[in-house]
Chains A and B, each alone.
Chain A
Amino acid sequence: MSQVRKFLPENKLAKTITDPNGMLLGHAVKKAAENIEKVRDIHLAALEVKLDELAQVAATAMQSQSASDAANLYRLAREVLGDAGIFGLKHISRAAHSLCELMAAGDRHRHQWAGVAVHVEALAILRREGKNPTGADLDGMLAGLAKISRAPV
């Protein structure tokens, strides 16, 4: 039988929530949102660069089908998911999430690379549509992407 030690450590954050001079949580959230908005343009420009890189890496990975290219594509998909989502680009974030699911499935997904091609095309359409897409049936498209990611494993 192995030794297990159990103790109650000091919670160093505990005193932050008992200070009556603290900031209202509502105010803290508002200040944080303002701080994000200040750098929106810079970050959206970086996101554009990242989406270009993702398309290039996807093209390379579809050719090579190597583990390192696949890992690089998975990393970029994760980054796009987070970077787009925090600025409210939810369609791009959802498409990137679907690509993450596909890449995480790896070789277990029988049509992984065909699925990657569809996701890259979809991301290109979503970029053209911008933040408030109206033209196409985007929810239907995103549902289709999710179906591809989940499909034959």
Chain B
Amino acid sequence: MGAALDLSARINLNRTSVLVLDSNPQSLDLLRRVLNGFGVRSVHACQHVRDAERIFYDQTLELIIVDPLFEDDSGFEFIRFARREENSPNRCVGIIAALGHQTLGNVRAARDAGANTVVAKPLSPDVLLQRIHWVARESRPFIVAPNYVGPDRRFKNQGPPLGTNGRRTDDLSFDVPVAAGPDMNQSQIDEMFKPMKVAL
């Protein structure tokens, strides 16, 4: 995700509908203008959570950008609400949390509420577009569990938590089988990838 934006790549956001939730009217206006610059025609800018919930119910969305740091917990709660609306077509859309202050606690709260990624303010157009591009390329599974709904938080497969066998069917056991033969050395591996003539 940290890689620089490939400025020669293309993106077509003309038909994309984006919901933006931010309690700061200046930030909301700037986000709308940045998205318009990216080609987004349909930006639903909301300063209040209740307006965002109404848009979430009424519109088909492709992306949500939210600064969840409201006076209370309602910004994070909005992300949780979006992820738990089982019958909504917007339930699995990409959610970018644009944090005004990215403490470890805030980043964790955004991730655990179900955001796909976090971007730190002050925003810059290139970083925001990089995150949108990243979300567009994402193919993470979606998890529905009693305590969490959202994109799989396991970026790296480090196996199930210590002392458990895991809850998922693709969690690997800690029992490592005995190898059937010696490891391949590098030249044997290279040989497998070497183009060779074959008799047809």
Contact residues of A with B, CB < 8 Å? 1-14, 16-17, 19-26, 28-36, 38-39, 43, 46-47, 50, 71, 74-75, 77-79, 81-86, 93, 97, 100-101, 104
Contacts and interface: CB of A to CB of B under 8 A. Distances in A.
24 contacts: A2-B167, A3-B145, A4-B144, A4-B145, A7-B144, A13-B63, A14-B136, A14-B137, A16-B12, A16-B13, A17-B10, A23-B13, A25-B9, A32-B36, A33-B125, A36-B30, A36-B34, A46-B26, A82-B24, A82-B27, A83-B26, A85-B122, A86-B123, A93-B122
Given A5-B144, A32-B33, A86-B124, A25 B24 contact: no
Chain A contact surface mostly: helix
B141 A8 contact: yes
A112 to B, nearest CB: 16
Given A79-B24, A104-B103, 9 more contacts: A13-B62, A25-B129, A25-B133, A31-B39, A32-B38, A39-B30, A39-B33, A43-B29, A83-B122
Contacts of B69: 75, 78
- Contact residues of B: prevailing secondary structure: loop
Contact of B139 (A7, A8, A36, A97): A8
Interface residues of B, number: 57
Interface of B: 5-13, 16, 23-24, 26-27, 29-30, 33-39, 62-63, 69, 71, 92-94, 100-101, 103, 121-126, 128-129, 132-133, 135-139, 141-146, 152, 167-168
B101 A9 contact: no
Nearest to B63: A13
A13 B132 CA distance: 9
A150 B36 CA distance: 39
B145 A83 contact: no
